[in-house]
């Protein structure tokens, strides 16, 4: 059995294996007997050490430490009175202090200029409250290292909807707030039919005005084209899958939109690294065939479900209401990462029907296996406390977790695993990630470099330099068409195919799917509109688009940054030399890291 490693300034920097050992030990303590703790500590360690599965960043960072707050994100309610508003601001600040982003629904907040009982003043409205959240987030840094985030959802029927949509017209405002428009089927149908739409004061329940539905939609698509906000949240689709409708409707999501949550619920996510389950069989003397080791994948899914369930029991939450709600529903979200890398290894273009079919096949298997594992756990440990009255009660006798699957963005853990993020396509074949302190994490696709070596081209070195500079091989005619198709990048994929891939995974996912519809700089507002409508029609639970360089700064940047692909060598905190390992830059002297978990 591995014991957790004690880290002090006198000891060397912890290795990834040290981290996995600490996490496995801490999470296995949730098991009921010493024998089970020893068994599952070893199993948890092995699937992490083999990079077959990794939990969310907060679990990796905090498990086994003095404050095991293990959730990456939360949702809090926002009621329409001054006392509760500032209580929620306080609660959200506490959650952010311990490393969690927070989602809110502002749909109950009375509109700007509305009456306030007992005083002569007027209400400030939802947008002003967004500025309060933004300011609070600027002041408090998560764990003293990074700023926190907020996701605000507003109903499309709210009288302040147009002010909300255009809240980031000035890109210097609301830097710590993402926001999405909460839309219904009725609204989308009204858009298609060019019908009027009623705006309703949430305080009185009365219609305050009537506008054209398409006009709201067009302003939303124009603003999303301009700088990425707002996204859309499809509330009817989300609540169709709400496992506990008896506890109320879901009105908000987490920071990246993949986890619809009730008030006071939290994210508990982890991801399977699909590249670790690829097998190869000889189809003929000259051709081999790729597939998955389905048996091994199923075994790891079952262990991962148990791991995530144990996270709920091992975690300590800063707020008692969160603790009760999380343990009442025991929601987990197991997903995947390395999808683009997997398709490359299979030789399948991302924007192909073959890729869509494989996506459905993989996620159907993971979802079904996760459900069976949760049912087995429910029989062993008991169903989630809110099982009675839930949708699961009509389907099965036991269920440990109200939800089992989610597709997360996996920004940090995919870097640790050395694979592509979530279900995203290859962003570029050469790019850099700009992080805190101005440091740049460069990435060059090594699968491609290997394939180029095999071509034995005369001008190979010049070709490599050009790929590193531009981040693409689409225009290199000397490279076989088949290879150019397989190594297609995000901006070369039609927006509609981005949406189709998201929908393929959503079909077999309990919660939602984090996916950015990355558009090239030259994309049009009409492209955004088409993507929004298609996402609704195909059953996605939300959609986020981002047009390249539509903001003054962005995290991922194509190419070598003008020849500066090498990252900064000195720590911005203490000035000592940074060390690169496992996809991160870290400082042995002060512990600073630029791939924050």
124 is catalytic: no
Does some domain include residue 494? yes
- Mark whether 408 and 429 lie in a shared domain: no
341 and 447 Cβ atoms separated by less than 8 Å: yes
Does some domain include residue 185? yes
- Mark whether 558 and 482 lie in a shared domain: yes
pLDDT given for residue 86 in this prediction:
93
The least confident of 62-71, 195-204, 258-267 is 62-71
- Mark whether 103 and 240 lie in a shared domain: yes
Q: What span, in angstroms and rounded, lies between the C-alpha atoms of 471 and 340?
A: 15
Does some domain include residue 462? yes
Q: What is the pLDDT of residues 537-558, one digit of tens each?
A: 999 999 999 999 898 777 777 7
DSSP 345-372: HHT--SSSHHHHHHHHHHHHHHHHHHHH
- Mark whether 193 and 222 lie in a shared domain: yes
- Mark whether 210 and 91 lie in a shared domain: yes
Q: What is the pLDDT of residues 411-468, one digit of tens each?
A: 889 989 999 999 999 999 988 776 655 566 777 888 998 898 888 888 888 888 888 8
Residue 595 scores a pLDDT above 70: no
- Mark whether 86 and 202 lie in a shared domain: yes
Residue 3 scores a pLDDT above 50: no
544 and 517 Cβ atoms separated by less than 8 Å: yes
pLDDT given for residue 6 in this prediction:
40
CA 88 to chain centre: 23
State how many domains the chain has: 3
Does some domain include residue 578? no
**Of 253, 275, 299, which marks where a domain is finished?**
253
pLDDT range class, residue 498, cuts 50, 70, 90: very high
**Of 413, 444, 462, which marks where a domain is finished?**
413
State the residue range of the domain holding 528. Answer: 425-566
Percent residues over pLDDT 90 in the chain = 73
Single out the catalytic residue among 150, 254, 268, 557: 254
**Of 228, 253, 278, which marks where a domain is finished?**
253
Tokens of 294: 């389905």
Does some domain include residue 233? yes
**Mean residue pLDDT across the chain:** 90
pLDDT given for residue 7 in this prediction:
43
pLDDT given for residue 49 in this prediction:
98
pLDDT given for residue 562 in this prediction:
53
- Mark whether 368 and 430 lie in a shared domain: no
pLDDT range class, residue 15, cuts 50, 70, 90: confident
Does some domain include residue 571? no
Tokens of 434: 């700009």
Does some domain include residue 442? yes
Single out the catalytic residue among 31, 41, 251, 258: 258
- Mark whether 82 and 195 lie in a shared domain: yes
Does some domain include residue 1? no
Single out the catalytic residue among 256, 404, 540, 587: 256
Going by C-alpha positions, the residue among 80, 66, 73 that lies closest to residue 322 is: 73
- Mark whether 100 and 228 lie in a shared domain: yes
- Mark whether 243 and 307 lie in a shared domain: no
404 is catalytic: no
Q: Domain holding 151: CATH number?
A: 3.20.70.20
- Mark whether 408 and 444 lie in a shared domain: no
Going by C-alpha positions, the residue among 80, 82, 143 that lies closest to residue 111 is: 80
258 is catalytic: yes
Classify 189 as helix, strand or coil: helix
pTM: 0.91
- Mark whether 244 and 333 lie in a shared domain: no
pLDDT range class, residue 597, cuts 50, 70, 90: very low
Q: What is the pLDDT of residues 513-541, one digit of tens each?
A: 999 999 999 999 999 999 999 999 999 99
Residue 582 scores a pLDDT above 70: no
């Amino acid at each position: 059995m591995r014991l957790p490693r004690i880290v002090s300034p006198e000891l060397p920097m912890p290795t990834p294996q040290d981290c996995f050992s600490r996490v496995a030990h801490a999470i296995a303590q949730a098991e009921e007997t010493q024998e089970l703790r020893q068994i599952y500590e070893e199993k948890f360690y092995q699937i992490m050490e083999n990079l077959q599965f990794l939990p969310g960043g907060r679990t990796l960072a905090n498990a086994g430490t003095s404050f095991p707050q293990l959730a990456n994100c939360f949702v809090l309610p926002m009621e329409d009175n001054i006392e509760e508003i500032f209580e929620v601001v306080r609660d959200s600040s506490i959650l952010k202090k311990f490393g969690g982003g927070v989602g809110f629904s502002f749909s109950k907040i009375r509109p700007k200029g509305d009456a306030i009982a007992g005083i002569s003043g007027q209400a400030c409205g939802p947008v002003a409250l967004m500025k309060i959240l933004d300011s609070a987030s600027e002041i408090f840094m998560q764990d003293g290292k990074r700023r926190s985030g907020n996701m605000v959802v507003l109903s499309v029927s709210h009288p302040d909807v147009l002010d909300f949509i255009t809240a980031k017209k000035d890109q210097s405002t609301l830097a710590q707030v993402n926001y999405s428009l909460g839309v219904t089927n009725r609204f989308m149908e009204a858009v298609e039919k060019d019908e009027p739409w009623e705006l309703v004061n949430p305080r009185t329940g009365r219609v305050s005005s009537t506008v054209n539905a398409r006009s709201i939609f067009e302003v939303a698509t124009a603003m999303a084209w301009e700088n990425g906000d707002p996204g859309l949240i499809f509330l009817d689709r989300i609540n169709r899958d709400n496992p506990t409708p008896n506890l109320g409707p879901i009105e908000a999501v987490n920071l990246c939109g993949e986890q619809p949550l009730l008030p006071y619920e939290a994210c508990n996510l982890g991801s399977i690294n699909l590249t670790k389950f690829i097998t190869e069989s000889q189809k003929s003397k000259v051709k081999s065939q790729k597939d998955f080791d389905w048996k091994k994948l199923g075994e790891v899914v079952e262990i991962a479900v148990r791991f995530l369930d144990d996270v709920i029991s091992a975690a300590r939450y800063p707020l008692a209401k969160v603790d009760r709600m999380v343990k009442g529903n025991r929601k987990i979200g197991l997903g995947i990462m390395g999808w683009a890398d997997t398709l490359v290894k299979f030789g399948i273009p991302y924007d192909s029907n073959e890729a869509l079919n494989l996506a459905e096949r993989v996620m159907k298997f993971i979802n079904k296996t996760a459900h069976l594992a949760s049912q087995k756990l429910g029989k062993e440990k008991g169903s989630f406390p809110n099982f009675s009255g839930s949708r699961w009660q009509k389907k099965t006798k036991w269920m440990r977790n109200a939800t089992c699957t989610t597709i997360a963005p996996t920004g940090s853990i995919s870097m640790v695993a050395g694979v592509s993020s979530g279900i995203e396509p290859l962003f570029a074949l050469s790019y850099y990630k700009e992080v805190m302190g101005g440091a740049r994490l460069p990435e060059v696709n090594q699968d491609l470099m290997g394939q180029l070596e095999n071509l034995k081209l005369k001008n190979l070195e010049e070709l490599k330099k050009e790929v590193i500079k531009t981040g693409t091989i689409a225009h290199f005619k000397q490279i076989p068409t088949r290879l150019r198709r397989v190594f297609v990048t995000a901006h070369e994929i039609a927006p509609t195919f981005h949406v189709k891939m998201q929908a393929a995974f959503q079909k077999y996912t309990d919660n939602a799917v984090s996916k950015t519809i990355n558009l090239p700089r030259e994309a049009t507002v009409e492209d955004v509109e088409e993507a929004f409508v298609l996402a609704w029609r195909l059953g996605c639970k939300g959609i986020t688009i981002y047009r390249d360089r539509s903001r003054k700064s962005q995290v991922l940047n194509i190419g070598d940054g003008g020849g500066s692909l090498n990252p900064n060598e000195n720590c911005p905190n203490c000035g000592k030399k940074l060390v690169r390992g496992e996809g991160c830059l870290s400082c042995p002297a002060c512990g600073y890291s630029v791939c924050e978990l």
